[in-house]
Structure 1
């Protein structure tokens, strides 16, 4: 880490502690000696699963997202529980949300979703070996499962029905790997 960019934390104040996130405000000393405030969202992390059917269609879910005030289509994903292994979370979320169970599953990458104000790290997994499992969404989750081809996925992006980074990443990943028909 370049020392000339480092911000020293002088004080931290917790503003809100919710079920999923914590919001803190930090007083920091900037590299030039001045001070500033940083509003930071702490998040436990998440997983997302790129899952292909035997027909090489991408499993996606459609659900209403309150922060956006609209319904969007996304790859299956979910929040890590405290101390939960990301691989086990990926297996659990895939089955809970889609009703399919991964026979095998591979880690692809991890990335920060919004590093300017949040520390959420999302872990991306891939499977093209799935079998019928049991749908069991959370009690406050209302969703439908779809299977989309590459051309359908690209059209959904154009229509802004697929409108989130993790799903667009998944589609680009599959295009580069030649994994989606």
Structure 2
């Protein structure tokens, strides 16, 4: 893979935000020419494929400003500094759904948009949910509503583009091939 490697000459920091950092790297290409790469740096995230005792999938509906619409997604959230992915997964599950679990199985991890971002999402599975005694407050600027749906209904909502993100599409494919 070294034959495709690009060497960074210079990095210009553009923005350092709460969720992302933006930078423009000047690079030397494998053929010796130079180019610019606009990059998003992200701390990473988790997503949780959670099944209830009734074998329903737990979703949250949330407005996504970048899309200018609400979509249904599996519970997910950003890694905090120094926090292990499984800790983030349990925290996000609790905050967004009112459920907790003592059993999280790492399914996979993937890069969301490797052409311009380094965000790595860890996907966990659990079918051992316990309802919390009291709801845990989530982020003050986050408004979500929980849904529990069977796989067939979720697939229909994907066709309607009410479910329209990669991590949730992956979750449905995972469950379908798993036989849930």
SS in 2 for 1:12: strand
Q: Deviations over 1:145-168 (max 9, x none)?
A: 000111110111000000000000
For 1:108 and 1:3, the matched residues in 2 are separated by 29
Gaps of 5+ in 1: none
Q: Hey, what does 1:169 align to over in structure 2?
A: 170
Structure 2 length-normalised TM: 0.97
For 1:43 and 1:62, the matched residues in 2 are separated by 23
Q: Hey, what does 1:37 align to over in structure 2?
A: 36
The number of aligned residues is: 178
Q: Structure 1 segments of 4 or more deviating over 4 A?
A: none
Q: Hey, what does 1:52 align to over in structure 2?
A: 51
Alignment of 1:71-82 (within 5 A): 71-82=70-81
| Alpha-carbon distance, 1:135 to partner | 4.0
For 1:22 and 1:3, the matched residues in 2 are separated by 26
Structure 1 length-normalised TM: 0.97
For 2:169 and 2:162, the matched residues in 1 are separated by 11
Alignment of 1:16-165 (within 5 A): 16-133=15-132, 134-165=135-166
For 2:28 and 2:100, the matched residues in 1 are separated by 49
After TM superposition, the structure 1 stretch with the greater mean CA deviation from structure 2, 60-69 or 127-136, is: 127-136
SS in 2 for 1:44: coil
Gaps of 5+ in 2: none
| Root-mean-square deviation (Å) | 0.7
